[in-house]
Amino acid sequence: MNIMNFTKVVIKNLFDKPVTRAYPYKKREYPERTRGKIEIDIDSCIFCGICSRKCPTGAIEVKRDEKLWSIERFGCIQCGYCAESCPKKCLSMNQNYTEPDAKKLKDTYIQNIEEQA
Ligand code: SF4
Ligand code: SF4
């Protein structure tokens, strides 16, 4: 790179906006179709287990007797198969990701049977 090109790059960079973001103060806004964290509407779940069987990483556990649905957050690869295959459409992907952590994170949801009766 000759000196003229170098000077042009320096001047351009002095007046351009920074290409980086001041994370965590400025968080990124993800596009509408981002495949982020799986959410469940536990009250609509029928505990059929299809999501668990479809999950390629085995991140989802369903216990029909206990009306329990759980997900190993860092085992999920955001493929979306579970949400696509749920017959009750009670799974969805929001636009955020699970916060990083040093340990495994399992989120467990239990349906309130009394409220459904
Ligand atoms: S596929 Fe849907 S209804 Fe069936 S267990 Fe999974 S979340 Fe519940
Ligand atoms: S998005 Fe994919 S990896 Fe994550 S829980 Fe659903 S099926 Fe499993």
Model confidence pLDDT, tens digit, residues 32-67: 889 999 999 999 999 999 999 999 999 999 999 999
Q: How far apart are CA 33 and CA 30, in angstroms?
A: 8
Rg over CA atoms, the chain: 22
Q: In which band, very low, low, confident or very high, does the pLDDT at 116 lie, cut at 50, 70 and 90?
A: very low
* pLDDT of the residue at 24: 84
Q: Has residue 12 been placed in a domain?
A: no
> Which residue's CA is minimally distant from atom 6 of ligand 2?
82
> Across residues 97-110, what is the average pLDDT?
93
> Which residue's CA is minimally distant from atom 8 of ligand 2?
55
Q: Which residues does a 6 A CB cutoff place in the pocket of ligand 2?
A: 38, 54-57, 59-60, 71, 76-82
* pLDDT of the residue at 1: 61
Q: In which band, very low, low, confident or very high, does the pLDDT at 96 lie, cut at 50, 70 and 90?
A: confident
Q: Is the dihedral of CA 29, 31, 32, 38 positive or negative?
A: negative
Q: Has residue 16 been placed in a domain?
A: no
Residue 70, pLDDT > 50, answer: yes
Residue 114, pLDDT > 80, answer: no
Q: Has residue 2 been placed in a domain?
A: no
CATH code, domain with 42: 3.30.70.3270
Q: Has residue 93 been placed in a domain?
A: yes
For residue 49, which of 62, 65, 66, 68 has the smallest C-alpha distance? 62
40 lies in which domain range?
31-116
Q: Has residue 59 been placed in a domain?
A: yes
Cβ-count burial 38-50 (b if 16+ within 10 Å, e if not): bbbebeebebeeb
| 14 membership: H or E segment, kind and range | helix 3-15
86 touches 50 (CB < 8 A): yes
Distance 32 CA to ligand 1 centre (A): 24
Q: Has residue 37 been placed in a domain?
A: yes
Q: Has residue 4 been placed in a domain?
A: no
DSSP helix/strand/coil, 71: strand
